[in-house]
Amino acid sequence: MLKNVSKNKSISSFMILSIAAFSILMTACAAETIVKEVEVIKEVQVEVIKEVIKEGATITREVEVIKEVAGETVIKEIIKEVIKEVEVEKQVIVVATPMPVITGEAGQKYGGTLKFGTVDFGAMDPAIMGLSTGSGMYSNHAYDSLTEPWYDGSIVNRLAETWSGNDDLSVYTFNLRQGVTFHDGSDLTSADVKWTFDRIADETTASPLLGEIDYISNITAPDASTVIFTLLGSNVNLPRDVADYHARIVPNGITQKTLQEASTDFGSGPYTLSDHNPAERTVMNKYDSYWVEGKPFYDRIIMYYMPEEATRLEAIKSGAVDVINTFSLAQVEGLNERDSITVTGTDSSTIRNLVMDTRGEREVKDEDGNITVIPASIFADKNARKGLQYAIDRDFVRKAVTYGFGANANDHPIGISDPMYWAGQPIINQDIELSRSYLEAAGYNDSNPLSFELDASDFSQMLEMALAVEQSVEATDLPIEIEVTKHEESTFWESIWMMPGGTPAVTSAWNGRPAAQAVSVALKSGGSWNESYFSSPRMDELMELSSTEIDFDTRKGYWKEVQEILIEEVPSAYLLYVPVLTAHRTHVQGVQAHPNGWVLMEDWWSSE
């Protein structure tokens, strides 16, 4: 049963989720090895990823395709699924200055306005930015960071021209680019970098990044272009952690109040803030003194906030907006059939999960000092969590949600292609009798079923996943009753997700992250975004050990145990990986889908 919650009105209706099938023609391209000459910093042992392609099961489908391949209309297709296995080798190679940012190729056109339809807007201050789609895009274009995750998974330099670590990776030195200015014309210097990270390290800022970089013990700025990070010990994660979107560089001395309430931005990115109404739109103009020569191409970008998917779809079909990137995978075929629209996508470790509140009984004190006892969540009992874990038909859920895209996940957020992924892990599948045994151990049976409300919203495939989970469980005779509650898209993250006194289960959506960030952000004890309130001292210890371990095999052993813990304890049922897709009008050129879900519009231009 689906309960719709909108403007304080609730209605109930039965919904039938039908699974439509459609086919996609896929071309496998051979990998190309590129060798570059770079400046050597030092030698360390690193992971080298090698893809081995093998042919999986052959699936035959008969479909009508409104496309042409080599000039011929395809009426029937035989599609072979290709399974990629990622082998990780280690070898000693030189670690060099990450590749510099490269300006765009010749031929791009300058000028025009790019209109982007997205869901919502949250915070203005990068350090406290939440999960709102508009906030992330605003931050990407108004501000800049020391390093940045690139499309191929590497880390490239942005404001850092070079960086290096000492022998045991306990001290990192970043050398800043010369000539970078903030939008007010003032120079960006090492003092601004130091202030940015000192702000994040201040608990009163309440930045979600604090828990990820609490291994930094001291930051110094010996001159205007040099920043030195001294760590509590060896740590391999710093160059990637400073690429986090909360680590956008802001001016020295600026306060959170100013960042949140001012009508302008304070960054050094490719666009400046012109007009902002978080309920309607954000207008950004090209920064003519941007440090990347020749960029950006568009004169202006406008982000329109459209909470309803149907509105965003109609807007791109009509040409009212040029780009959208949050839509159901069921819409891909229909969008691709239009000559005026192109869907660009990439595989990713972007993940969708069903979060279970693991908190036991607790006391909460209000402003007057009165204490209220909050009873334990039903999912404080591990047996209840395990019962639900084995009740879900993951293949059904994935097919219902992704229409054949993506892959099943396995109750942790580490991507299949991540070097720390445990290849030999036991894969969780539906097991009705095992589920029943766990439910009985938790005290649930036909006369006393496990009943709970599942909060969801209709974006990022969360509502589809919730309904598919509900149907999957209803198809069994297990004593589980789920009621899906749909909430408004524009307020879901701020008003429903992780809210005190909420329901014991909620859907969630995470962009892809490397293992250390993916687990630490969402599952580390006490983390501000620990959505299940899970706590495992042993897992926390393993993450600490892995961050300081230079030897690859030892570090991978720590991550194997982390995945064992999450699969066994299942604080969150991570159900499926989804691709990152962007739909754009065909005149918008240079578009790439980022595996982390980031949107980088400085490289885009219009052919019109």
Kindly state whether residue 379 falls inside one of the protein's structural domains. yes
Q: How many domains does the structure of the chain reveal?
A: 3
Among 48, 65, 96, the domain-final residue is 96
β-bridge partners, 53: 84
Which residue is associated with the tokens 């035989």? Answer: 78
Question: By C-alpha distance, which of 203, 208, 278, 269 is closest to 244?
Answer: 208
Question: What is the average per-residue pLDDT within 139-148?
Answer: 96
Edge-to-edge strands of the sheet including 505-510? 9-13, 2-6, 480-487, 450-457, 505-510, 351-356, 572-577, 407-408
Q: Is the pLDDT of residue 22 over 70?
A: no
In angstroms, the CA 535 to CA 125 distance is 29
Provide the domain limits for residue 354.
2-8+350-577
Residue 137 corresponds to which amino acid? M
Are 152 and 219 within one domain? yes
Residues 450 and 542 in one domain: yes
Query: Do residues 112 and 82 share a domain?
Result: no
**Low-confidence winner among 1-5, 262-266, 410-414, 554-558 (lowest mean pLDDT):** 1-5
pLDDT of residue 438: 98
Q: Phi and psi of 585, rounded to 5°? A: -60, 145
User: Rounded CA gap, 352 and 589, in Å?
Assistant: 29
| Amino acid occupying residue 454 | L
Q: Which of 31, 65, 96 corresponds to the end of one domain?
A: 96
To 10 degrees, what angle do helices 515-523 and 537-548 make? 150
Order of strands across the sheet that contains 160-165: 160-165, 171-176, 226-231, 216-223
The one-letter code for the residue type at 278 is P
**pLDDT for the residue 199:** 97
Q: Do the domain assignments include residue 77? A: yes
* Same-domain status, 309 and 219: yes
Q: How far is CA 196 from CA 144, 200, 333, 597, in A?
A: 12, 6, 44, 24
Encode pLDDT of 152-189 as tens digits.
888 899 999 999 999 999 999 999 999 999 999 999 99
Question: What confidence tens digit (pLDDT) does each residue in 289-347 have?
Answer: 999 999 999 999 999 999 899 999 999 999 999 999 888 888 998 998 999 999 998 88
Q: Specify whether 205 is located in the same domain as 83.
A: no
Asked, for residue 131, whether it belongs to a domain, the answer is yes
pLDDT (0 to 100) of residue 5 = 55
- Cα separation, 512 vs 304, whole angstroms: 25
Please state which of the ranges 436-440, 494-498, 518-522 shows the lowest mean pLDDT.
Answer: 494-498
Does 601 map to a domain?
A: no
Backbone angles phi, psi at 155, to 5 degrees: -110, 125
- Is residue 375 domain-shared with residue 313, that is, in the same domain? no
| Residues pairing with 526 in the sheet | none
* Mean predicted confidence (pLDDT) in 125-131: 86
pLDDT at 21: 30
- Higher-confidence residue of 416 and 288: namely 288
The verdict on residue 458 lying in a domain is: yes
Q: How far apart are CA 163 and CA 98, in angstroms?
A: 8
Helix, coil or strand: residue 180 = coil
356 domain residue, yes or no? yes
Selected residue with higher pLDDT from 125 and 56: 125
Q: What is the pLDDT of residues 337-379, one digit of tens each?
A: 999 999 998 888 889 999 999 999 988 888 888 898 889 999 9
**Residue 464 reports pLDDT greater than 80:** yes
What pLDDT score does 106 carry?
55
- Residue-level pLDDT at 468: 96
What's the CATH code of the domain at 465? Answer: 3.10.105.10
Are 364 and 383 members of one domain? yes
Distance CA(540)–CA(545), nearest Å, equals 9
pLDDT band with cut points at 50, 70 and 90 for residue 55: very low
Alpha helices in 410-505, H assignment, sequence order: 432-441, 462-474, 492-495
- Is 426 in the same domain as 478? yes
Whether residue 372 is found in the same domain as residue 443: yes
Q: Is residue 339 part of a domain?
A: no
Instruction: Read off the pLDDT band of 511 (50, 70, 90).
Output: confident
* Percent of the chain predicted with pLDDT > 90: 61
> Average pLDDT of the chain?
83
**DSSP β-bridge partners for residue 147:** 157
Closest CA to 519 of 427, 429, 420, 595: 420
What pLDDT shows up at residue 531? 94
In terms of pLDDT, which residue wins out, 83 or 168? 168
The CA R_g of the chain, rounded to the nearest whole Å, is: 24
> Which pLDDT band, with edges at 50, 70 and 90, does 70 fall under?
very low
Q: How confident is the model at residue 134 (pLDDT cuts 50, 70, 90)?
A: confident
Q: Nearest Cα to 128, choosing from 529, 500, 530?
A: 529
* CATH code, domain carrying 237: 3.40.190.10
Residues 260 and 183 reside in one and the same domain: yes
How many Cβ atoms sit within 10 Å of the Cβ of residue 557? 16
Rounded to whole angstroms, how far apart are CA atoms 169 and 547?
10
Both 314 and 412 in one domain: the answer is no
> What is the model's pTM?
0.69
Separation CA 195–CA 130 (nearest Å): 21
Burial 207-219 (b: 16+ CB within 10 A, else e): bbbbbbbebbeeb
What is the CA angle 399-401-403, rounded to 5? 50
Does 191 share its domain with 226? yes
Residue 570 within a domain: yes
DSSP 3-state percent helix, strand, coil across the chain (nearest 5)? 25, 30, 45
pLDDT score of 597: 84
The pLDDT assigned to 513 comes to 85
